[in-house]
Amino acid sequence: MFVWSYWMTIFTSPASPSKEFYLSNSDKERYEKEFSHERQQQILRRAARDLPIYTTTASRTIRYCEKCQLIKPDRAHHCSGCDRCILKMDHHCPWVNNCVGFSNYKFFMLFLLYSLLYCLFVATSVLEYFIKFWTNELTDTRAKFHVLFLFFVAAMFLISVLSLFSYHCWLVGKNRTTIESFRAPTFSYGPDPNGFSLGYSKNWRQVFGDEKKYWLLPVFSSLGDGCSFPTRLVGMDPEQASVTSQSEHARSIGSNQPFPIRPLSESKNRLLDNESQWLENGAEEGVVRSGV
């Protein structure tokens, strides 16, 4: 299982955004010809109107990749090592020489789990001989170095993998990526580190799937398509979002109940709806002021 998980983590190609997120040739030409940042954003807003996008940059602009020339889906980022955008990118892992994202994050978690169990097995197997070496009861002097080296290597990797696995278990429980743990995603109501959290149980199912019999097997069973994700505040007024976020978070700690969400198919693009509403309000204010 250790080798299988390691193999799948390495050789599973990271998923990239679908064709719907790429700009059309006409939009691409208009975008490249425009030198004004505001007009470029207008082109991106029109292109992103029918896309399930709920996050923006910190400056409230459309997340656009200049290299890939596409509108980034939620939780997608451009990897400089792979030179392309990765869906639900977590990090680029040098140990597997691959990007860890939506398509292979479950395999990476299982790789850490079985690595932890493997190191624990080796450390406990050698512990008896290490104690004999420490008490000078090990008669074979030629095996002393091997026992000492093997125990320390196994113990060192055990501690390292345990800390890394514990950290990623915490991330899965919060439904965050490593990138999101350092920089919270920005929604229409502002930055929210728990914006994609659906409750502890549902967060784990997002990665490992609904069928528990596949959880410990390195086969793909994650939920969704990697391009769109349910959010706990979809369909809510931006003014109520920050207050509701704090109150629901407090209630969820005690009751451990998942947050109510609306499917993406039943929700509009709140990011663009709010923006158009602001524009309409601004236009109405302009008419009133001009009339006065």
d(CA 9, CA 230): 25
Contact 245, 194 (CB under 8 A): yes
Q: How far apart are the first and last CA of the chain?
A: 75
- Whether 93 is catalytic is yes
Query: In a 10 Å sphere around its CB, with 0-12 CB exposed, 13-18 middle and 19+ buried, how is residue 189 labelled?
Result: buried
Who's near 242: CB < 8 A, 6+ residues apart? Answer: 189, 190
Catalytic residue among 68, 93, 99, 119: 93
Torsions phi, psi for 76 (to 5 deg)? -90, 145
d(CA 205, CA 212): 9
d(CA 92, CA 289): 53
Catalytic positions, written as ranges: 93
